Amino acid sequence: MTNILEATSFGATSTTDDVLSGVNLQGKRIFVTGVSAGLGVETARSLAVHGAQVVGAARDLNKAKAATEQVRKDAAADGGSFELVELDLAKLKSVRACADGLLAKREAFDVVIANAGVMATPFGHTADGFETQLGTNHLGHFVLVNRIAALIRSGGRLINLSSLGHRYSNVDLEDPNFDRTPYEPFAAYGRSKTANILFAVAFDRRHRDRGVRAAAVHPGVIHTELARHVDASQIEKIIEQRNQQLAAEGKAPFRWKTIPQGAATSVWAGVVAPAEEIGGRYCEDCHVANLVPDNVPIDAMSEGVLGYALDENNAEALWKKSEELVGESF
């Protein structure tokens, strides 16, 4: 991977085009999930127009085809390529079929970006009986990525999209599906986003000896379809708390990110940042995030990552529980 500019030259307002300025990705093959809207489409576009061969995965292929029509045209004009494969992360049958299809082609990937996800959904279950957010955001990607891990080349990377939402909750390995715990949408979201980080930590530990690194990223707060289940007043309350904390720190008020700004950290961690810098870490605003003590209240944090999300013992325990839940060992 090419690091054209020093990592410190990028920040919260950097876009995908800023991060990839001067970067040639011809010959690189990159897999991106969730390419039917928002961040996934922009991530795929930015990589493909810099010459990468991008394979995009989506549950609704018709929606994804319409959303990525321009991506395909731009990629062809700039030496890259774009193709679609079907993937429903809420159905392990679909996840395994997608993985089998990729393995059958025997074409290696330089980067896998696990971008797809849901947020603060009403209580429900995936086709396999998992709580919707844990099942879709974590367990679907857990099975997919581990099944195709052999396709990731030495020097390659796994980038899991997490969120500042990890601050809402650690994983609960005793009651992962809210069988005994009262369901709260953001608590469930927090569990799944913490799981995304812990999965990157454990995957990095398993694969770094062969030159494959993994990291988790927070894209920022962006207007996308992800927030369709969240009440507008709830978002306003969260932003108000954020602004109070930013003011207390002497920082400028909160600003929404654009989609190209939101996808920038995924792209930066995937193909620009030095591997040893991001491996096993959590990144935000195109830099590695600082560790924040676990006893700091959520509304007193404007940035950073909580220690439980990077704890290796926690990561190993989640890995073991995930294998148990999906009935497959990796």
Beta bridge partners of 79: none
Task: Look at residue 147 and give its three-state secondary structure.
Answer: helix
Instruction: Output the DSSP codes for 265-284.
Output: HHHIIIIIS-HHHHTT-EEE
- pLDDT tens string 36-89: 999 999 999 999 999 999 999 999 999 999 999 999 999 999 899 999 999 999
Query: Residue 105: which pLDDT band, with cuts at 50, 70 and 90?
Result: very high
- Position with higher pLDDT, 269 vs 293: 269
Mean pLDDT of the chain: 92
Q: What is the CA radius of gyration of the chain?
A: 18
> Which is catalytic among the residues 193, 266, 302, 322?
193
The pLDDT assigned to 301 comes to 60
pLDDT at 1: 47
The closest alpha carbon to 114, from 310, 270, 264, belongs to 270
The catalytically annotated residue of 162, 163, 192, 322 is 162
162 is catalytic: yes
Task: With cut-offs at 50, 70 and 90, classify the pLDDT of residue 227.
Answer: low
As a whole number, mean pLDDT of residues 236-245 equals 72
> What is the rounded CA–CA span in Å between residue 53 and residue 58?
17
Q: Which of 50-59, 221-230, 255-264 has the lowest mean pLDDT?
A: 221-230
Q: Options 3.40.640.10, 2.70.98.90, 3.40.50.720, 3.40.50.300; which CATH number does 7-230+257-325 get? A: 3.40.50.720
Mean pLDDT of 218-230: 70
Annotated catalytic residue, options 189, 192, 266, 322: 189
243 vs 93: which has the higher pLDDT? 93
The pLDDT assigned to 13 comes to 94
Q: What is the pLDDT of residues 16-31, one digit of tens each?
A: 999 999 999 999 999 9
pLDDT in the model for residue 125 = 98
Check pLDDT > 50 for residue 5. no
pLDDT at 280 over 90: yes
163-221, pLDDT tens digit by residue?
999 999 999 999 999 999 999 999 999 999 999 999 999 999 999 999 999 999 999 88
Reduce the DSSP state of residue 257 to 3 states and report it.
Answer: strand
Mean pLDDT computed over 149-154: 98
**Percentage of the chain lying above the pLDDT 90 cut:** 82
Domains of the chain by residue range: 7-230+257-325
Give the model's pLDDT for residue 8: 47
Rounded CA-CA distance 105/137 in Å is 26
pLDDT of residue 4: 42
**What was the pLDDT predicted at 294?**
75
Contact (Cβ atoms closer than 8 angstroms) between residue 193 and residue 305: no
Q: How much is the pLDDT for 302?
A: 65
Asked whether residue 2 carries a pLDDT value surpassing 80, the answer given is no
- In this model, does residue 253 exceed pLDDT 90? no
Find out whether 82 and 44 touch, Cβ atoms under 8 Å: yes
Per-residue pLDDT, 6: 44
pLDDT of residue 153: 98
H or E element, residue 287: strand 287-288
Q: Are 123 and 183 in contact (CB under 8 A)?
A: yes
Per-residue pLDDT band for 149 (boundaries 50, 70, 90) equals very high
